[in-house]
Amino acid sequence: MEQARQTDLAVFIQGLPKVELHLHIEGSLEPELMFELARRNGVTLPYDSVEEIRAAYQFANLQEFLDLYYQGMAVLRTRQDFHDLTRAYLERVAQDNVRHVEIFFDPQGHTERGVPFTDVIEGILDALAEGERDLGISSGLVLSILRHLPEEDALKTLEAALPYRDRLLGLGLDSSEVGHPPSKFIRVFEKARDLGLKVMAHAGEEGPPAYLWEALDLLKVDRVDHGNRSLEDPALVARLVTEGMTLTVCPLSNLKLRVVNDLTKHPLKSMLDLGLKVTVNSDDPSYFGGTIGENYRAVAQALDLGRDDLAQLARNGIEGAFSTPERKAALLDELNAHLTTS
């Protein structure tokens, strides 16, 4: 009986039309492709096998992950590499019935290694266009700023992106959170807002609630990435609920980076019950052990989520997307069709 219920729920989750709003494309680099690109580009990796790479993915905190993440992305050198990376991600999530994605890329992680900005963004955009055409996955691209670097670098990066303004959805903020508060980036976020870009920031993953307040008040973010630590501050929760602010939560990432010790202790269900607009995302699927579909399955089981909770999570993803009203309405129709037929 219990097993039948689990199978039922797995089928229900598979069929949910999903939206992924928190995905670092460089974090979708699977060890197999890492090896292939290293060979293609003559880059030497400090590993002898795919198994050795996977075994190295044990992290005590965000920084330990970031060190390997920056090391891994060094195999990405050409426009073709960025295309192949993005195409592989889209083909994988198509199997999870992902219908729309808004993905981050970290140009500073590439331009500082001598890879031209144009090659990075054109390669990703090529694959996103193919994903729309071949897989029916709509998408947006978010330029993410590395917060451990000075704001001057961020401003130069935004400048380099100006020719692509119309093909960019937004500006994000990632990398080492503690010690690099949102207030460090007021000018670059103001510039992005003036350009009409959507703005979002990683906040409250490891950083304190004060960083979330700063993201709201100083960066004027349209969406919050992670936001787990908002729960420590009831006034902050009230503000996020009142504003209907979307929080892009990443359960398996939180487990791997020890933001939570155990998935059964993950705050996702409490956040839903408080009325926060939380969504489920994979963050860096190749490093954290699962796609968005696997994140849905893992939280459903660990937190004993039912169909209503899961449908709400999928709905929050659609509503929190920065897509056109027509696309969002079409995705809500898909969701409602799934709910009435299963």
C-alpha–C-alpha distance, residues 220 and 190, integer Å:
9
| Cβ 272 to ligand HPA shortest distance, Å | 21
Cα angle for residues 104, 106, 157 (degrees, 5° grid): 115
| Cβ 29 to ligand HPA shortest distance, Å | 11
Which value, in Å, is the radius of gyration of the alpha carbons in the chain?
A: 19
| Closest listed residue to residue 289, CA positions, set 53, 54, 76, 127 | 54
Q: 228 is in the binding site of which of ligand HPA, Zn ion, none (Cβ under 5 to 8 A by kind)?
A: none
Interface with Zn ion by CB under 5 A: which range of 70-78, 143-151, 230-238, 276-284? Answer: 276-284
**Residue with the CB atom nearest ligand HPA in the bound state:** 174
Nearer to Zn ion, 102 or 283 (CB): 283
| Cβ 22 to ligand HPA shortest distance, Å | 8
Nearer to ligand HPA, 62 or 192 (CB): 62
Q: Is 2 helix (H, G, I), strand (E, B) or coil?
A: helix
Say what the alpha-carbon torsion angle 106, 293, 131, 199 is, to the nearest 10 degrees. -40
- Which residues of this chain interact with ligand HPA, rule CB under 6 A? 24, 27, 62, 69, 174-175, 202, 205, 253, 283-284
- Catalytically active residues are 205
Chain position carrying tokens 């990703």: 124
Nearer to ligand HPA, 20 or 284 (CB): 284
| Cβ 75 to ligand HPA shortest distance, Å | 16
Q: 175 is in the binding site of which of ligand HPA, Zn ion, none (Cβ under 5 to 8 A by kind)?
A: ligand HPA
Asked if 211 and 233 touch (Cβ cutoff 8 Å), the reply is no
Using CA atoms, how far residue 23 sits from 106, 137, 162, 250, 281, in Å, is 11, 14, 23, 9, 7
Q: 20 is in the binding site of which of Zn ion, ligand HPA, none (Cβ under 5 to 8 A by kind)?
A: none
C-alpha–C-alpha distance, residues 202 and 177, integer Å:
8
Asked if 98 and 321 touch (Cβ cutoff 8 Å), the reply is no
Nearer to ligand HPA, 77 or 226 (CB): 226
283 binds Zn ion (CB under 5 A): yes
| Cβ 144 to Zn ion shortest distance, Å | 8
Using CA atoms, how far residue 294 sits from 54, 252, 298, in Å, is 17, 9, 6
Nearer to Zn ion, 9 or 29 (CB): 29
Q: Tokens representing 264?
A: 């059964």
Interacting residue ranges for Zn ion, rule: CB under 5 A: 283
